[in-house]
Structure 1
Amino acid sequence: MPELPEVQALAERIAQACIGRSVARVEVLSVQVLKTFDPPVSALEGLAIEGVGRFGKFLDLRTESGGPHLVVHLARAGWVRPRASLVPGSAHPGRGPLALRLVLDDGSGFDITEQGTTKRLAAYVVTDPLLVPGVAGLGVDPLGDGFTLPVLAGLASGSRRRLKTFLTDQSVLAGIGNAYSDEILHAARLSPYAIASSLHEDQLAQLYTAVRDVLGTALEHARTATAATLKSEKKAGLAVHGRSGEPCPRCGTPVRSVIFADKSLQYCPTCQTGGRILADRRLSRLLK
């Protein structure tokens, strides 16, 4: 799933390609991805793109003079693919990966795609991004100026949730998902099962530094990767996530995995849990 670093890099690349250009048309190829009907997608046509930003994992394309926004959440398998030239009428509704196409006035544009027959990505045309429920409920941006150690301490002090869930709760920290939460906890040498409110001062400082460093480094890598290699670059840069059975890059201990539903978490027993192997059955509590 694209997380904060990848979505931020995508936003910056889309901005470079389309700010100042006008929207020629928006083609909705999968009706299930469009979550709004007023304003219609046609309200975007003819308007110049004024900026492209990010709210957590949401992309926000805003048009000139207070016009409507196109807000997109890429879900688990969505992606944005730049196109140098788009032929009118070349895209057709169906079961393919193409869900939505944005065509600019010079004939270039972007395809928003998602693999699989069920489209979980979501697109909204709204007058204000805060009208999107997922945006309105977002917590602090972990790479923003508002995220400080005292802010993290305040959020953690009131939470009885396990760190894995605490970090991935979008109403707490916006933009961190399954992969980078594993990486952050590994960098901070903290167990994914530790209770947020139980962290002492030094552990909170370790967690804060890890959040900033892991996401900041990932963002720099994402900015230098090409659009075609952005996903593979993310995977290559991960220390523990998706690397069950491989040696921990810090101590060499085999990385362990806990699987729950259609997700999993990875951790190093030596670096994070004092050698203790976490039991899968405890994940039912982690998800509550």
Structure 2
Amino acid sequence: MPELPDVTVYVERLDAKVRGDTLEQVRILNPFLLRTALPPIAQAQGKKVVGVERLGKRVVLALEGDLFLVIHLMIAGRLRWLAAGAKPPGKIALATFEFGAGTLVLTEAGTRRRASLHLVAGRGALSAMDPGGIDVLSGDLAAFSAQLQAENHTLKRSLTNPRLFSGIGNAYSDEILHRARLSPVMLTRSMKPDETARLFEATRAVMTEWTDLLRDEAGDWPDKVTAFHPKMAVHGRYGQPCPVCGSPVQRIVHADNETNYCARCQTGGKLLADRALSRLLKASWPKHIDDIE
């Protein structure tokens, strides 16, 4: 799923291309994409773009007349920019937004249609779509700590909760926790002040560094948005060496999500129980990284 760094770069590039341009036509190619009926989507046509914004993991096109097109890419949704008149890709295209300068195409890989499009009227209606998580790049340590202490959950769950923190998902939470040298299953209310401060600094550093990196790599448009980047330390690198200590990266698999971590850097060498594999192996499940190295 595109997270804060990816969405920020989408917003920046799109703003440079369409601010002040007119949205000439919206074509909905999949009926499940559009989640609002009022105002009708046709009302967005003919309106000028007054800005492009980020709302959590959503891309927002602000139109004249106090209208807002809200695009949520979910897991497999992506945005493409085509020259004016170019044909959009086949079955994966869900919608096209035609401007004088070119066409924005919303695509989604696979068969599960999770991406969504809303058209809302008024800043209040847009604000109602905000889950409420704080922006980690503008908030301070006190606000960050308060959010962590609001509920007693694992660090992984809290960091990826959009009601607590804005724009952090599965991929960058792994990178943040590795940078902070903290276990993904540590409970938030068991954290010491120095651990909270370390997590705060790691969160800001990881999000800033990755936004800068993706911005530099994007060129005219970010065509290769992915949750698995070769420069990541642990996310998507199960079995590969940790760039800090060289131990093989470990994982916890739960439903569609996978948490990657370094046992030596983050858990004192302890291997965390995987809900599938550890239950299968039971007594044979290794307890320490030294048991498998």
Q: For 1:191-215, what per-residue CA distance to the aligned partner results, in whole angstroms no more than 9, with x for missing partners?
A: 0000011111110110000000000
Aligned equivalent of 2:110: 116
Paired letter, 1:162: T
TM-score by length of 1: 0.90
Is 2:211 the partner of 1:219? yes
- Correspondence for 1:264: 258
Report if aligned partners of 2:235, 2:260 keep a CA contact under 8 Å in 1: yes
- What's 1:164 paired with? 156
The answer on whether the counterparts of 1:39 and 1:125 sit within 8 Å (CA) in structure 2 is yes
User: Does structure 2 retain, via aligned residues, the 8 Å contact 1:222–1:234?
Assistant: no
Are the structure 2 counterparts of residues 130 and 171 from structure 1 closer, same or farther at C-alpha, using a change threshold of 3 Å? farther
Give the 3-state SS of the residue equivalent to 1:225 in structure 2.
Answer: helix
Compare 190-199 and 120-129 and name the one that shifted more.
Answer: 120-129
Structure 2 contact 148–164 (Cα < 8 Å) conserved: no
The residue that corresponds to 2:2 in the other structure is 2
Contact residue 258 and residue 264 of structure 1 kept, 8 A: yes
Aligned to 1:286: none
Q: Which moved more, 1:169-178 or 1:117-126?
A: 117-126
TM-score, structure 2 normalization: 0.89
- Asked if the contact 2:93/2:107 (under 8 Å) is kept, the reply is yes
* Conserved? CA contact 1:124–1:132, under 8 Å: no
Q: 1:206 to 1:91 in 2, by over 3 A?
A: closer
Shift of 1:228: 5.0
1:96 is aligned to 2:100 = no
CA distance in 2, matches of 1:151, 1:56: 17
Deviations 1:37-57 (A, max 9, x none): 111111111111000000110
Shift of 1:79: 0.6
Q: Distance in 2 between matches of 1:129 and 1:2?
A: 24
**TM-aligned CA deviation for residue 76 of structure 1:** 0.2
Q: Deviations over 1:231-288 (max 9, x none)?
A: 25961221000000000000111100111111110000000000000002399xxxxx
- Cα pair distance change 1:200/1:142, threshold 3 Å: same
What is aligned with 1:139? 133
Q: What secondary structure does 2:268 align onto?
A: coil
Residues of 2 paired with 1:194 and 1:233: CA distance?
24
Measured in 2, the distance between the counterparts of 1:58 and 1:257 equals: 28
Aligned-pair CA distance for 1:155: 1.5
Q: Is residue 126 of structure 1 aligned with residue 125 of structure 2? A: no
Change in Cα spacing, 1:174 to 1:44, as seen in structure 2 (3 Å) is same
Distance 1:129 1:123 in 2: 17
The residue that corresponds to 1:240 in the other structure is 234
- 2: CA distance between counterparts of 1:256 and 1:268? 6
What is the identity, as a one-letter code, of the residue corresponding to 2:57? K
2:75 matched to which residue of 1? Answer: 76
SS at match of 1:258: strand
What do residues 102-126 of structure 1 show as CA deviations (whole Å, max 9, x unaligned)?
00134x1210100122211000000
Which residue, 130, 143, 153 being the options, matches 2:145? 153
Mapping for residues 23-34 of structure 1, pairs under 5 Å: 23-34=23-34
Q: Structure 2: how far apart are the matches of 1:69 and 1:171?
A: 21
Which amino acid is 1:72 matched to? Answer: I
Task: Please state how far the C-alpha of 1:157 moved relative to its aligned partner.
Answer: 2.2
Paired with 1:58 and 1:208, the residues of 2 have a C-alpha distance of: 23
Q: Which amino acid aligns with 2:129?
A: V
Q: Percent identity?
A: 36
